[in-house]
Structure 1
């Protein structure tokens, strides 16, 4: 599907989110990447084969403030 050179990461690769955005709909909270991945604003993903990747946004819970 990707026509970029060098080619973007495939939907199965760990860095799939690095693919170029081909459609962006911030009002709906999603973007379509050139590898066919639907990337949602909560960092969840829907892969072209129908698999769902749960949101994986870094959590702020458990962070300890340090004095500068």
Structure 2
């Protein structure tokens, strides 16, 4: 699953990864992972790279 892949990339267990996600969702007052992502983006927490390190179309055009 996606959780397993993400946990492996972070070198944590799936259970720990899911706990991290739940904590982040609570901090962002989000009811879904999608909503957490939107809120994180709105707060500028994601930087200029999106998931997987891909740049947004705007940042590609600027560089």
What is the TM-score normalised by the length of structure 2? 0.23
Structure (1 or 2) with the greater strand fraction: 1
What is the TM-score normalised by the length of structure 1? 0.22
Higher RCO (C-alpha 8 Å, min separation 6): 1
Structure (1 or 2) with the greater helix fraction: 2
